[in-house]
Amino acid sequence: MSKVVFILGVSIVCRTCVFAQTNFYTNVTNLWYQGYKTNVFAIANERLAQNTNDIAGLILKAEFHFAHLDSSER
């Protein structure tokens, strides 16, 4: 019985984590395409302040800098 409860608990936690990640990427994508790129940059910096190896934070920060370079070349 305790194994079943443990498996159910792990299943619920995993589903919650997957939903949270999907929600994060949806929110960041919406912010980016609505023109709130500085907000995305702030999110990237916040994630990198917690963990300097956070891949999502690194990618978001790089995208912000690449977007800035593209707009300054025009």
- For residue 62, which phi and psi values (nearest 5 degrees)? -65, -45
- pLDDT by residue (tens digit) across 43-74? 999 999 999 999 989 999 998 988 877 665 55
| Average model confidence (pLDDT) across the chain | 76
Contacts of 43 (CB under 8 A, 6+ apart): 28, 31, 57, 60
Domain boundaries, the chain: 2-73
